Amino acid sequence: MEELDLVVRNAHVVTAADEFDCDIGIRDGVIVSLARGLPAGRKEIDAAGRYVMPGGIDGHCHLDQPMTDGTKMADDFHSGTVSAACGGTTTVVPFACQLKGQSLRAAVEDYHRRAEGKAVIDYAFHLIVSDPTPDVLQRELPELIAEGYTSFKIYMTYDDLKLNDRQILETLAVARREGALVMIHAENTDCIAWLTEQLLAAGHTAPRFHAASRPMLVEREATHRAISLSELVDVPILIVHVSGKEAVEQIRWAQGRGLQVYGETCPQYLFLTSEHLDGDDFHGAKCVCSPPPRDKANQQVIWDGLENGVFQVFSSDHAPFRFDDPQGKKAAGENASFDQIPNGIPGLETRLALLFSEGVLTGRIEPQSFVALTSTNVAKLYGLYPRKGSIAVGADADLVIWDTDVNLTIRNEQLHHNVDYTPYEGMKLRAWPGMTISRGEVVWSAPHAQVQPGRGKFLPCAKPTPARPRSERRLSIGGATQG
Ligand code: DUC
Ligand code: ZN
Ligand code: ZN
């Protein structure tokens, strides 16, 4: 047998399906053997006693996304992917966002330019469709889906992004025809606008009123509407960044009716509450994101949803704005009203360790479910599986080797993003990736990043594995085929 480039020895491998002890043999960036007692490789890593899992895939993060309001995202494809790698993530899927009036193709080309030469781990793109003109729907979107941009996000709120119900239906119909997966930001825009107006008129301008302007009801109503529109068109959808009980109830209801409605949640809905928006001196702006964090009872519902299968994916929704920066949270001034604060919080680097520490090590979440939520299901939903998202012969050698004997306090100064704060400052963790391997190369060996800008490769995506309309789905049981 030709010599192996790397052997990760004595690994305690966890995949979404299995848990077993073996050596992992890697050649040319690909896993070529899984066995005990593999011959020596050119390089050896001893993982004895440690969990080795597929590298994380962050299926929802915003990097260097052009903004129209004078703000600027703090992370580009270099700092963002370094930060991801140091937190155990080996693939990111950020958004090529169409600005109104712009062609989708121009947005994609612009976004490629932003990534090239900078990314240190592999990346794919979702599209954001904000201007579904006839040309976009009939020509551009189908062409881009065929070229490997097989998922796209649509918004039900934000003035420069939102689609009305008719536009959503037309866009969903293209997804159905072309086999793409649609991610939906579900919040009722008119309710938010009306509540915002009321709050501002009453002089309630502080960051904490951001949460009051987007109560659970607005998310529940839009989630229900998104589900109904997708049912009408008969197309799978993913409801992204679900924040609490009422939206969970809608998704569970849809799933119970056999609809292909998937759910995503994020660390902010497990670890933050609306009280984090309270801080003095405008500090609450650091946790302004949409939907907003809720309360402890809703956190519990989100934990339950991760355990009981309502959610398929766990993403960061990393949307990085610096706090003390005129292009960041203070873009409209030190004491801007809540509606002028850019939405979003950082979380690429802390996503996996937070869930591992508080989910797996507390026994709330099985290790296999952790892998499914943070890697395998993401790869399947976005057409990156089986190259990504598993530890299997033929898969890319994207691995994370966990240190689970640590006693760590999250400090922003130890993170690698370009944001001047983390919402999780001071939180205690019992696990952190000791090593991240991307296509057989060590990119993070605690406490050092070992990265080469531009080594990350663009990944065209296949059509998503489960994204088939109901009418085309067949479940094969014991040879019989059911509709
Ligand atoms: N909400 C979004 O929809 N996107 C980015 C950040 C946020 O808070
Ligand atoms: Zn969103
Ligand atoms: Zn987002």
Residue-wise pLDDT tens digits, 394-450 = 999 999 999 999 999 999 999 999 999 999 999 999 999 999 999 999 999 999 999
320 three-state secondary structure: coil
Q: What sign has the CA pseudo-torsion 352, 355, 361, 364? A: negative
Q: What is the DSSP letter of 358?
A: I
Is the CB–ligand 1 distance for residue 61 below 6 Å? no
Q: Which atom of ligand 1 is nearest to the CA of 185?
A: 3
pTM for the complete prediction?
0.96
- Counting Cα atoms < 13 Å in the Cβ hemisphere of 130 gives 17
Q: Kind of pairing, strands 428-429 and 408-409?
A: antiparallel
Per-residue pLDDT band for 470 (boundaries 50, 70, 90) equals low
Q: What is the pLDDT of residue 29?
A: 98
Contact between residue 87 and residue 433 where contact means Cβ atoms under 8 Å apart: yes
How far is residue 224's CA from residue 191's CA, in Å, rounded to a whole number?
15
**For the chain, how many helices (H) and strands (E)?**
14, 23
Q: What is the pLDDT of residue 279?
A: 74
Per-residue pLDDT band for 465 (boundaries 50, 70, 90) equals low
User: 194 alpha carbon to ligand 1 midpoint, in Å?
Assistant: 20
Average model confidence (pLDDT) across the chain? 95
270-295 mean pLDDT: 94
The helix (H) or strand (E) run that includes residue 166 is helix 165-178
Closest CA to 51 of 437, 403, 429, 441: 403
The CA–CA distances, whole Å, from 327 to 18, 67, 320, 337 equal 46, 10, 11, 16
Ligand 1, atom 7, residue with closest C-alpha = 344
Q: Nearest ligand, CA of residue 184?
A: 2
DSSP string computed for 192-208: HHHHHHHHHHTT--STT
Residue type, 246: E
% pLDDT > 90, the chain: 94
278-288 burial: b if 16+ Cβ within 10 Å, else e:
eeeebebbbbb
Q: What is the pLDDT of residue 464?
A: 81
The helix (H) or strand (E) run that includes residue 239 is strand 237-239
72 three-state secondary structure: coil
Residue type, 441: E
How far is residue 213's CA from residue 215's CA, in Å, rounded to a whole number?
6
Pocket test for ligand 1, best of 290, 315, 321, 419 (most atoms within 8 A of CB): 290
152-180 mean pLDDT: 97
User: 120 alpha carbon to ligand 2 midpoint, in Å?
Assistant: 25
pLDDT at 477 over 50: no
pLDDT at 469 over 80: no
pLDDT at 40 over 60: yes
The 10 Å Cβ neighbour count of residue 107 is: 25
Q: What is the pLDDT of residue 18?
A: 96
Residue type, 397: A
Q: Kind of pairing, strands 30-35 and 19-27?
A: antiparallel
Q: What is the pLDDT of residue 476?
A: 34
Q: What sign has the CA pseudo-torsion 148, 389, 292, 84? A: negative
Q: Nearest ligand, CA of residue 289?
A: 1
Pocket test for ligand 1, best of 160, 317, 318 (most atoms within 8 A of CB): 317
Q: What is the pLDDT of residue 461?
A: 98
Q: What is the pLDDT of residue 474?
A: 42
pLDDT at 161 over 70: yes
Q: What is the pLDDT of residues 373-397, one digit of tens each?
A: 999 999 999 999 999 999 999 999 9
- Show the domains of the chain with their CATH numbers: 4-54+386-414+433-449 (2.30.40.10), 56-372 (3.20.20.140)
Q: Which atom of ligand 1 is nearest to the CA of 240?
A: 3
Is the CB–ligand 1 distance for residue 208 below 6 Å? no
How far is residue 99's CA from residue 151's CA, in Å, rounded to a whole number?
17
59 Cβ contact partners less than 8 Å away, ≥ 6 residues apart: 93, 264, 313, 315, 378, 381, 382
Is the CB–ligand 1 distance for residue 329 below 6 Å? no
- Name the CA radius of gyration of the chain, rounded: 22
246-272 mean pLDDT: 97
User: 444 alpha carbon to ligand 1 midpoint, in Å?
Assistant: 28
pLDDT at 480 over 80: no
User: 61 alpha carbon to ligand 3 midpoint, in Å?
Assistant: 6
How far is residue 297's CA from residue 255's CA, in Å, rounded to a whole number?
22
- Counting Cα atoms < 13 Å in the Cβ hemisphere of 289 gives 28
Beta strands in 79-162 (DSSP E): 89-92, 95-97, 122-123, 126-128, 151-155
428 three-state secondary structure: strand
Q: Nearest ligand, CA of residue 344?
A: 1
48 Cβ contact partners less than 8 Å away, ≥ 6 residues apart: 9, 10
Q: What is the pLDDT of residue 207?
A: 97
User: 471 alpha carbon to ligand 2 midpoint, in Å?
Assistant: 29
Ligand 1, atom 6, residue with closest C-alpha = 344
Is the CB–ligand 1 distance for residue 161 below 6 Å? no
Alpha helices in 180-318, H assignment, sequence order: 189-201, 209-213, 216-233, 245-256, 268-271, 296-308
Per-residue pLDDT band for 281 (boundaries 50, 70, 90) equals confident
Pocket test for ligand 1, best of 60, 62, 128, 315 (most atoms within 8 A of CB): 62
175-200 mean pLDDT: 98
Q: What is the pLDDT of residues 194-243, one digit of tens each?
A: 999 999 999 999 999 999 999 999 999 999 999 999 999 999 999 999 99
280 three-state secondary structure: coil
Q: What is the pLDDT of residue 377?
A: 97
Is the CB–ligand 1 distance for residue 62 below 6 Å? yes
Name residues with Cβ closer than 5 Å to ligand 3, which is an ion.
Answer: 317
Q: What is the pLDDT of residue 154?
A: 98
User: 282 alpha carbon to ligand 2 midpoint, in Å?
Assistant: 23
